[in-house]
């Protein structure tokens, strides 16, 4: 099915790892300390965005006087405290295992590089991927193509010969902007 591609790129959160609920719980915990909340539908629309951009959105929606980078840092601490106990691979990990050693593979995520590396290592999945590109590895984030273009460059594969597996609209837009085919895993 994916034979025609020279490189496979996977989003992480919600695509190969079931982290969504843990991220939501961490946001509830952190925002509750500041008397803030979030709209579930709006948060889903922000899937694939770096944490500080989500924080910026929440702060703006509440017209709060908070630093988005500080709020994002608080959320990262909260999520780290619970993530390693709750995260599990999603069924798409079978595609990763099937193509391991046959095609270069990358993770292109809106999470921080160190977090992605630590989670994949914790779940004994890190060795499947040649490359990890996190939100802190690129200047522009999904829906911009930078994450996926960097994945392709680091794998040594032309962008048009890559396929991206994504669960978020921003990620699908980023794949299209990068000139890559994409699989919307929500439809699988």
Q: How far apart are the C-alpha atoms of 9 and 107, rounded to whole Å?
A: 6
Asked if residues 15 and 174 have their Cβ atoms less than 8 Å apart, the reply is: no
Q: 132 in helix, strand or coil?
A: strand
The encoded tokens of residue 104 equal 């270069």
* Termini Cα distance of the chain: 14
Q: How far apart are the C-alpha atoms of 112 and 117, rounded to whole Å?
A: 9
User: How many CA atoms are closer than 13 Å to the CA of 38, on its beta-carbon side?
Assistant: 23
Active site residue 11: yes
Q: Which of 11, 130, 137, 167 is catalytic?
A: 11
Q: How far apart are the C-alpha atoms of 7 and 37, rounded to whole Å?
A: 40
The secondary structure of the chain in percent helix, strand, coil, rounded to multiples of 5, reads 55, 15, 35
User: Hey, which residues are catalytic here?
Assistant: 11
């Amino acid at each position: 099915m994916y034979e025609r591609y020279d490189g496979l790129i996977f989003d992480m959160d919600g695509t190969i790892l079931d982290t969504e609920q843990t991220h939501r719980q961490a946001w509830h915990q952190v925002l509750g300390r500041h008397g803030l909340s979030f709209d579930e539908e709006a948060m889903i629309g922000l899937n694939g965005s770096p944490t500080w951009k989500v924080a910026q959105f929440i702060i703006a929606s509440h017209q709060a006087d908070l630093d988005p980078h500080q709020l994002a840092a608080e959320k990262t601490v909260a999520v780290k405290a619970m993530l390693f106990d709750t995260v599990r691979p999603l069924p798409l990990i079978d595609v990763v295992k099937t193509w391991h050693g046959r095609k270069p593979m990358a993770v292109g995520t809106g999470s921080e590089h160190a977090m992605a590396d630590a989670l994949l290592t914790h779940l004994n999945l890190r060795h499947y991927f040649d490359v990890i590109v996190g939100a802190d590895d690129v200047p522009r984030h999904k829906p911009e193509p930078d994450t996926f273009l960097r994945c392709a460059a680091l794998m040594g594969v032309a962008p048009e010969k890559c396929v991206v597996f994504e669960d978020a609209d921003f990620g699908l837009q980023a794949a299209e902007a990068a000139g890559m085919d994409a699989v919307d895993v929500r439809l699988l």
